[in-house]
Amino acid sequence: MALSAKKQKQPPPGSQIGISYRDAVTKRLPTTKKSLIDLDTSVSNDITGTVDTRSRQGFLLDISKVPTISDVEHLTTIAHQYSGAKNFYGIKFLGKSSERYIEIYPSNEILTKFTAEGVYYEKLKTRLLPCPAIEGDGKVIQLSLSEIPLLPEPEILEGLRKALVSFGTVIDIGLRYSSTEGWFLGTGYAIIQQVTGQSYATLQHTINWNEEEYCYATFPDMPTWCRYCHSEGHTKYECQKASAGILCYSCDKYGHRAADCPDPKSKKKRPNQFKKPRKTYKDQSQNEVAKPDA
């Protein structure tokens, strides 16, 4: 007898059903970012997508960390903390959802206070520090990191700095944690700058720290790479290691799919030992037995 929806046993509140490591990496699990350059956990100043402004006097506020705050509330909060909009030259809202930020230009009178204190949201108990515009010309590259070794934060920061210094100037390094319990998920980000006129090593998908430690990086305009073996030059569909465990349903051999089978007619039909013989129609006259005369 099936129980009704009300009588069925429900999971305990707060439990995560069906959440795996892959779900966390693909952002299906709510996460928070923490910059290792600024070790204050209550402060968020990493910018997703861009770290530059039109003028060198501009600053950026990553408001994607406070998605529940409306644009009007942002303006009211900033004006309340710094005695009105008269102390700013202007402000712009840019980006969408997870990449939304504010481009703001404080006056010289409040510049020192604004860079030190940022914007504090009393309702969320969160402080956003402004990120200054990058000095010098060049290309800014944001790396999405995965499979980071599970080490203490100081060792991760030191290892990533040494590994990334050959690719450019390291501007920021951060890690991603679960928003509920604060577990480190082995993923993070890094922002580097390549100055015009200087030569750097070519960015690769695999970032080697030493002979034992490494992590994987994805970035814009990166070459083709395999999501199975993490090698460059081919995709997962073309990977020989990934296809080694694939069984072809056409020839019963491993290493390829049925659609790519080189010999689809080699599979022989196996006789079914348990199949009953097919019944055929017989004339009723053949089934009648000759009866003896009375």
CATH code at position 197:
3.30.70.330
* Residue 228: inside a domain: no
Residue 47: the pLDDT is 41
**Cα–Cα distance, 73 to 128 (Å, whole number):** 14
- Residue 159 sits in the same domain as residue 182: yes
- Specify the residue for token string 């030992």: 273
pLDDT at 207: 93
Please name every residue paired with 14 in a beta bridge, in sequence order, or none if there are none: none
Strand 31-35's sheet: what is its strand order?
Answer: 31-35, 169-178, 184-195, 138-146, 214-218, 206-208
Contacts 24+ apart (CB under 8 A), 77-82: 77/119, 77/120, 77/121, 78/104, 78/119, 81/117, 81/119, 81/120, 82/106, 82/110, 82/113, 82/114
Sign of the alpha-carbon dihedral angle for 246, 247, 253, 259: negative
213 shares its domain with 261 = no
Which among 69, 100, 132 is the end of a domain? 132
Number of domains within the chain? 3
Angle 117-119-123 from CA coordinates, rounded to 5°: 125
Give the burial string for 187-213 (b: 16+ CB within 10 Å, else e).
Answer: bbbbbbbbeeeeeeeebebebebeeeb
Q: Running DSSP on this structure, what letter comes out for residue 62?
A: -
Specify the pLDDT at position 129. Answer: 83
pLDDT of amino acid 56: 52
Measured CA to CA, the distance from residue 83 to residue 106 in angstroms comes to: 12
d(Cα 45, Cα 59) in Å, to the nearest integer? 11
Between 127-141, 176-190, 247-261, the lowest mean confidence (pLDDT) is in 127-141
Confidence band for 227, pLDDT divided at 50, 70 and 90? confident
Cα radius of gyration (the chain): 31
As given in the structure block, the two tokens for residue 142 are 């944001």
Residue 141 pairs in a beta bridge with 192
Question: Which pLDDT does position 34 carry in this prediction?
Answer: 73
Domain membership of residue 87 (yes or no) is yes
Tokens encoding 286? 């053949």
Please tell me whether residues 122 and 151 are part of one structural domain. no
Mean pLDDT of the chain: 76
Query: Per mean pLDDT, which range of 41-50, 81-90, 114-123, 241-250 is the poorest?
Result: 41-50
| Residue at 239 is within a domain | yes
The pLDDT of 152-158, averaged and rounded, is: 92
Residues 160 and 106 occupy one common structural domain: no
Mean pLDDT of 84-112: 87
Residues 145 and 208 in one domain: yes
Statement to judge: residues 92 and 58 lie in one domain:
yes
pTM of the model: 0.55
Lowest-confidence region among 27-36, 70-79, 190-199, 210-219: 27-36
159 in any annotated domain = yes
pLDDT at 167 over 90: yes
Q: Which domain holds residue 205?
A: 138-218
User: Is 156 in the same domain as 182?
Assistant: yes
